[in-house]
Amino acid sequence: MAGGGELGGGGGRPKRGKHSKRKPKKRLGFRIDMTPLVDITFLLLTFFMFVTTLTTPQVMDMAVPPETEDVEVAESKLFTVRVREDGKIFYNQAKDIPQPIILKELRTKAIRSNLDMKNELITVLKIDENVAYETVVNILDELNLAEIKITQALQAEKLNRERKFTISPMTDKDKEEIKGL
Amino acid sequence: MPKVKMKRTGFVIDMTPLVDITFLLLTFFMFTAKFKSEADNEQKFQIKRPKTQADTAKLPEKDVAVIRIAIDSTRPSDTAYYFSVANPELWMTIKDDPSLAEWLTPERKEASKAMIKTVKIEELETLISVSRTQSKAFNITKKTATEKAQLRFAIDADKRIRFKWIANAMEAMRRTRQTQFNFVTDKQQ
């Protein structure tokens, strides 16, 4: 691409004179120097590449129970997940003693408990005020991932999944129950 | 007789394919580019969102009210709720709502071009209910009262923040009978 652009018509140029002895030069096509064009295009390309954010944030669905009178539920149907101040997770079903559980095992536990009880189980999440929000979202994510498996398993049995889940505040009684564990 | 060596001066590369591809990429990036919204511009803090695997739905660009909770690095006690609505026209009507006049002083209103900093939880509650009623009225006048155009609510919180802040915001949602909402998350790579 060295040298400047040689713009010239492909067609014939008017002859210089009637008696010109020069043969009319037949030009085949023409060439444009594209270097400045490429320069600018690359500049713009890099600009837009740096400006764009390809990762758009996602959303996780959440629901809170409406402000109505408390609904009585059988304790045997409750699957309670408690998160202590230090981020440790405890679970218990019905009136069992809370058991510590690590985040990775929560999914399999939730799947198993839910499949045992079909659609009856109510998951209750109780979180201490001082727990980091990240821990909460991680737990919710695990439960959501479990939900996919539960729905699939129930669909195989021709059952529709009705999710029963709630976040409820942690009471002093809850704190007492998981204190020494 | 030995051949006369031709001296070559420079060479020519055909740049056409290069230009083709570059233009293709350029147009792609130009169309996908999203510029900072006014709310982002006003935002003086950065939110590190928690990462999740299960979520697939994208945060809508319109008809969404976002409650932001971020960590204030300088004064941790100063963390507040920031409320913003994605639709600029709707945002104007929300700000001018008479029920906000009690605490949203003209100076504060002036300072909040794209988002309102709420100091008290009651202020957040009023904002939630006002934006919901205003969005309904807005949709009726524009005849777009469809399911899709309904204002959605999302909590965009920093992952390091204590759950207390989110619990309070959720409680505000509950009290204003906004039982459905979203948490804003990032995709886990």
pLDDT bucket at B150, cuts 50 / 70 / 90: confident
Contacts of B42-47 with C-beta under 8 Å, sequence gap 24+, read B42/B112, B42/B113, B42/B114, B42/B115, B43/B68, B43/B82, B43/B115, B45/B70, B45/B71, B45/B72, B46/B70, B47/B156, B47/B157, B47/B158
Is B183 in the A-facing interface, judged by CB distances under 8 Å?
yes
pLDDT bucket at B89, cuts 50 / 70 / 90: confident
- Structure tokens of B175? 């009290």
Tokens 């209103």, located at residue: B109
- Structure tokens of B99? 């029920």
What does the pLDDT average to over B165-181? 87
Quick check: A8 pLDDT over 60? no
* Domain ranges across chain A: 75-177
Given an 8 Å threshold on Cβ–Cβ distance, is B174 in contact with A66? yes
- Does the model's ipTM exceed the 0.85 cut? no
B188 neighbors A157 (Cβ within 8 angstroms):
no
Given an 8 Å threshold on Cβ–Cβ distance, is B49 in contact with A54? no
Quick check: B112 pLDDT over 80? no
Q: How far apart are CA B42 and CA B112, in angstroms?
A: 8
Chain B, residues 33-62, CB within 8 A of chain A, namely 33-35, 49-50, 52-59
Least confident segment among A43-52, A93-102, A158-167, B8-17:
B8-17
Q: What integer best gives the mean pLDDT of chain B?
A: 79
Quick check: B146 pLDDT over 60? no
**pLDDT on residue A19:** 60
Chain A residue with Cα closest to B167: A129
**pLDDT on residue A2:** 42
Is B187 in the A-facing interface, judged by CB distances under 8 Å?
yes
Percent of chain A with pLDDT over 70: 84
Helices of type H across B5-162: 16-32, 38-42, 88-95, 106-111, 121-141
Contacts of A168-177 with C-beta under 8 Å, sequence gap 24+, read A168/A124, A168/A125, A168/A126, A169/A126, A169/B167, A170/A82, A170/A126, A170/A127, A170/A128, A170/A129, A171/A126, A174/A82, A174/A126, A175/A84, A175/A128, A177/A82, A177/A98
Chain B residue with Cα closest to A132: B162
**pLDDT on residue B69:** 85
pLDDT bucket at B77, cuts 50 / 70 / 90: low
What residues in B contact A132, CB-CB < 8 Å? 159-163
**pLDDT on residue A76:** 81
Q: Which one of B25, B158, B173 has the shortest CB-CB distance to A133?
A: B158
What residues in A contact B43, CB-CB < 8 Å? none
Please tell me which of A22-26, A50-54, B40-44, B160-164 the model is most confident about, judged by mean pLDDT: B160-164
Is B92 in the A-facing interface, judged by CB distances under 8 Å?
no
- Structure tokens of B131? 């934006």
Is A32 in the B-facing interface, judged by CB distances under 8 Å?
no
Distance from CA of A50 to the nearest CA of B (A): 9
- Structure tokens of B120? 């008290």
pLDDT, tens digit, 9 for 90 and up, residues A120-152? 888 889 898 888 888 999 999 999 999 888 888
**B133 vs A21, residue with greater confidence:** B133
**A94 vs A101, residue with greater confidence:** A101
B134 neighbors B94 (Cβ within 8 angstroms):
yes
Q: In this structure, are strands A99-101 and A78-83 parallel, antiparallel, or unpaired?
A: unpaired
Contacts of B33 (CB under 8 A, 6+ apart): A48, A51, A52
A89 neighbors A125 (Cβ within 8 angstroms):
no
Domain A75-177, CATH class in plain words: alpha beta
What residues in B contact A48, CB-CB < 8 Å? 26, 29-30, 33
* Domain ranges across chain B: 38-187
Q: How far apart are CA A148 and CA B165, in angstroms?
A: 29
pLDDT, tens digit, 9 for 90 and up, residues A55-73? 678 888 888 887 776 777 7
Quick check: B3 pLDDT over 60? yes
Is A129 in the B-facing interface, judged by CB distances under 8 Å?
yes
